[in-house]
Structure 1
Amino acid sequence: MRLLVTGATGLLGRQLLRSAEHDVVPTYHSERVPGGVQLDVRRRDQVRDVIRSVRPDGIIHTAYRQDDWATTAIGAVNVALAADEARLVFVSSDAVFGPRKTAYHEHERPCPITPYGAAKAAAETAISAIKPGAVIARTSIIVGSDGRSEEEQRVRRLTAGEPGAFYTGNIRCPIHVADLASALLELLVSDVNGITHVAGPEALSRLELGQLIAIRDGLNPEALPSIPGEPSEIQLDSRQTQAVLTTRIRPASEFLAA
């Protein structure tokens, strides 16, 4: 399979390049990738030209910017419009939902409360109409093993005494980047269509996640400052998707074990 990966300089994009056993063509916006193709997903004409040139059998679309509607929403629409016969996997987010105490299932409609969540929800809606056979994979906080993820970097900064704090009221379902990449590659070649949830099976507060990262990295977890913050509990129930995968999505307490 010839696979096009957008956002190949990101944490997930880099992992997909390492994990995929396909003929992979990475795209990047500003930071070059060896063998990659420069692509601004906000430009519909450029997206069309790149996809026509590469002629991929599959596309995993990871490119986004939390503070930019055009990249996150319109960019995803541009990719879907240009995908033609290529199998499309779109990486979405738990941010399409608002806080509540019970987990969200795949059939539940988005109810975002942030601009980023609204952009992802808009992209989901458009892709569902443009390419009904596409996979929309909602995920949660992505954690790595090499210090590149945002959460790992924040732990290092805060244990070093930089200003900031982890929120005890912010609860998510963290996933290891390798597990996520493996699951997306499985979904790419599967018969699954529509909404999927690909998040960790364990709900943790941002503080609890930060403490696990600190312990793994030999840092002092007690050095992490914390505040309650606004209550924000968003859990994805991923059991339905996990049942069709051979990839086992590990809980954070397992993949971050010292």
Structure 2
Amino acid sequence: MVKLLVTGAAGYLGRAVAERGAADGWEVVGTHHRHAPSGVRSFALDVRDAGAVAALVLAEAPAAVIHTAYRQHGEAARAVNVDGAAHVAAAAHAAGARLVHVSSDAIFAGVAGRPLREEDPPDPVTPYGATKADAEPAVLAAHPGAVLARTSLIYGGPGVEPSPHEELALAAARGEREVAFFTDEVRSPVQVGDLATALVELAGMTTDAGPLHVGGADPVSRLEFARLIVAARGDDQHRIALVGGPAPPGRPRHCPLDSSRAQRLLHVRLRGVREVLQPRSPG
């Protein structure tokens, strides 16, 4: 059985990747920061510790690594997202392992006015986006054969554990949170199972490397995304307490990903959010 190492296996995406890898016949091992995931053999690991990362990858000798671990906020974000990603890349390269590094559409400002392609240069406007943008060349310097899988807002949909994006929209709809969902920030939300399947497919390939856009088929605003989330749970999207408005300065704007290359390369279909989040009748 071929071994797959998933960093961040306790996270929302990491758990889905581990499950998909096991279902596809990989021997899956994971890493976690604080809390071990259930259903997968996992090791506590701080990716900021280059020696610990190298020792673990050397000991486990995976054929492929999918790097999902990240930090979105806080002082540690840069060290985790940039240095940690480089450490994982260097260890994977030394072990001769395939590497799929999960990147983000947050590396773009969204000023091109069209879907973003792999050759578009990063121009981040948020601190998080800057860390993800800086991670990409660091990863490729350490592992030239790595895939940089740039993705977007991740969600589960009906019958799947809700993502943080879904939980936020549902809390706002119930009046528990005051949130303005931006009308001019456009993204390509991707269903977590579709994305996990795509990442595992990429881990099993040997020829593709560099940036690859892996987003859902439908570009939608943050407000439309929130309304779709709530409608799919059975609430009337025209009566719910969701407030829209323009994004403030310092936010990315029109950032849908052109994922046509990934869709030609992969077997999995990267469904659009309007297809997955079909409205459900209240009751």
Question: Normalising TM by the smaller chain, what interval?
Answer: over 0.9
Superposition map of 1:176-215 within 5 A: 176-190=191-205, 191-215=207-231
Match of residue 173 from structure 2: 159
Deviations 1:63-90 (A, max 9, x none): 0011211111111001011112010000
Inter-partner Cα distance in structure 2 for 1:10 and 1:235:
24
The Cα shift of 1:114 comes to 1.3
- Consecutive unaligned residues in structure 2, runs of 5 or more: none
> Which sections of structure 1, spanning at least 5 residues, go unmatched?
none
Question: Which structure 1 residue ranges, 4+ long, deviate > 6 Å from structure 2?
Answer: none
**1:47 to 2:46 alignment:** no
1:229 partnered with 2:247: yes
1:25 matched to 2:29? The reply is yes
| Deviation (angstroms), 1:165 | 2.1
For residues 3 and 144 of structure 1, do their structure 2 counterparts lie closer, same or farther at Cα, with a shift above 3 Å needed? same
Deviation digits for residues 37-94 of structure 1 (CA, Å, limit 9, x no counterpart)? 1111111111111111211110000000112111111110010111120100000000
Contact 2:170 2:229 in 1 (8 A): no
> Does the CA contact (< 8 Å) of 1:158 and 1:165 recur in 2?
no
Partner of 1:217: 233
Give the distance between the partners of 2:145 and 2:138, measured in 1 at CA.
Answer: 12
Aligned length: 258
Q: Is the 8 A contact 2:10 2:32 kept in 1?
A: yes
Match of 1:11 in 2: 12
Show the counterpart of 1:135. Answer: 147
- Checking the alignment, whether the CA contact within 8 Å between 1:166 and 1:226 is kept in structure 2 is yes
Query: Aligned partners of 1:167 and 1:111: how far apart in 2?
Result: 20
Which residue of 2 is the match for residue 97 of structure 1?
108
SS of 2:228's equivalent? helix
Structure 1 CA distance for aligned equivalents of residues 236 and 60 of structure 2: 48
Match of 1:126 in 2: 138
Distance in 1 (alpha carbons) for counterparts of 2:161 and 2:5: 26
Residue 148 of structure 1: aligned partner: 162
- Could you tell me whether the CA contact under 8 Å between 1:159 and 1:220 is conserved in 2? no
- Judge conservation of contact 1:201–1:249 (CA < 8 Å) in 2: yes
Task: Choose from 67, 71, 74 the match for 1:65.
Answer: 71
TM-score calculated relative to the size of structure 1: 0.96
Q: How big is the shift at 1:219?
A: 2.2
Residue 240 of structure 1 aligns with an amino acid whose one-letter code is R
Letter in 1 for 2:192: V
The alpha-carbon deviation at position 220 of structure 1 amounts to: 3.3
In structure 2, the residue matched to 1:81 is 90
What is the TM-score of this pair, normalised by structure 2? 0.88
Distance 1:59 1:89 in 2: 6
Q: Percent identity?
A: 41
Alignment partner of 2:109: what SS? coil
